[in-house]
């Protein structure tokens, strides 16, 4: 779908605008009092998260990133699904699954009363995906830009049998000084990324 059509169907003036990005891949630009974000509809991938009043992006995207259908965009917040890492069955399928090199469909947008902006994108099984992975599924990503950036990945099994998946939001953070960076947490698998920020002037 073209950026013009997406703006007509899902755009929110001044808060959610679709435009043609590098390589002609459509991007959604989100803005609210707490900051701005960019999401590629190709790969369903968050590419930028800049809090209000800050000059530096919280996410890292390589200057050598490739914006081309069939290629993964190196950086930001790639979606790894339905496996993480090498093909678990050794069949030569793509590293980290196939949705990060797939065109996602915009399925919803909303601006809440408090000023937060939400964008929803989805992927469902097709003849092409079933050649790589046989299950029927619906996958969606919900990106909400408000007092924090919240990204939620939801899988729906539409087949009659159980399916085993691995999934991740494989986030690349921009670090000012790698020697002062540290990772804290409880070792849990978390599919929601939140970056706190304050409203702009």
Could you report the per-residue pLDDT of 38-62, keeping only the tens digit for each?
A: 999 999 999 999 999 998 999 999 9
- pLDDT at res. 50: 97
Is 188 a domain residue? Answer: no
The residue whose two tokens read 């605008």 is 17
Distance in angstroms (rounded) separating the CA atoms of residues 5 and 26: 11
| β-pair type (105-111, 149-157) | unpaired
Is 109 a domain residue? Answer: yes
- pLDDT at res. 128: 93
Q: How many domains does the chain have?
A: 1
- pLDDT at res. 186: 59
Could you tell me which residues come within 8 angstroms of residue 129 by beta carbon, excluding any fewer than 6 positions away? 98, 102, 123
- pLDDT at res. 193: 43
Q: Which pLDDT tens digit goes with each residue over 115-126?
A: 999 999 999 999
Is 128 a domain residue? Answer: yes
Is 182 a domain residue? Answer: no
Could you tell me which residues come within 8 angstroms of residue 123 by beta carbon, excluding any fewer than 6 positions away? 44, 99, 102, 104, 105, 129, 138, 139, 140
Could you tell me which residues come within 8 angstroms of residue 30 by beta carbon, excluding any fewer than 6 positions away? 15, 16, 36, 37, 38, 39, 117, 119, 143, 145
Q: Is the pTM of this model over 0.85?
A: yes
CATH number of the domain where residue 158 is located: 2.70.98.10
CB atoms within 10 A of CB 140: 19
Residue ranges making up the domain that contains 123: 3-175
The encoded tokens of residue 21 equal 């990005």
Q: pLDDT tens digits for the chain (201 residues)?
A: 899 999 999 999 999 999 999 999 999 999 999 999 999 999 999 999 999 999 899 999 999 999 999 999 999 999 999 999 999 999 999 999 999 999 999 999 999 999 999 999 999 999 999 999 999 999 999 999 999 999 999 999 999 999 999 999 999 999 888 788 777 775 544 444 444 455 555
Q: Please name the residue ranges forming H helices in 69-169.
A: 127-132
Nearest C-alpha neighbor of 112 from the set 10, 199, 3, 15: 15
Is 143 a domain residue? Answer: yes
- pLDDT at res. 9: 98
Is 184 a domain residue? Answer: no
- pLDDT at res. 65: 94
Is 199 a domain residue? Answer: no
Is 153 a domain residue? Answer: yes
The encoded tokens of residue 51 equal 């809090």
């Amino acid at each position: 779908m073209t950026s013009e059509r997406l703006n007509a169907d899902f755009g929110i003036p001044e808060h959610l605008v679709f435009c043609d990005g590098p390589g002609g891949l459509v991007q959604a630009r989100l803005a609210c009092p707490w900051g701005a974000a960019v999401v590629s509809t190709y790969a369903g991938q968050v590419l930028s998260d800049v809090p209000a009043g800050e000059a530096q992006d919280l996410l890292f995207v390589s200057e050598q990133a490739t914006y081309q259908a069939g290629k993964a965009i190196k950086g930001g917040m790639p979606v790894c699904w339905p496996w993480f890492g090498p093909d678990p069955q050794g069949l030569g399928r793509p590293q980290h699954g196939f949705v990060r090199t797939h065109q996602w469909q915009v399925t919803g947008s909303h601006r809440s009363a408090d000023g937060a902006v939400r964008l929803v994108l989805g992927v469902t099984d097709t003849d092409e995906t079933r050649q790589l992975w046989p299950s029927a599924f619906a996958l969606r990503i919900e990106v909400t830009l408000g007092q924090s950036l919240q990204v939620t990945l939801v899988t729906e099994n539409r087949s009659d049998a159980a399916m085993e998946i691995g999934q991740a939001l494989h986030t690349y953070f921009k670090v000012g000084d790698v020697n002062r960076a540290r990772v804290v947490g409880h070792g849990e698998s978390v599919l929601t990324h939140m970056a706190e920020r304050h409203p702009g002037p």
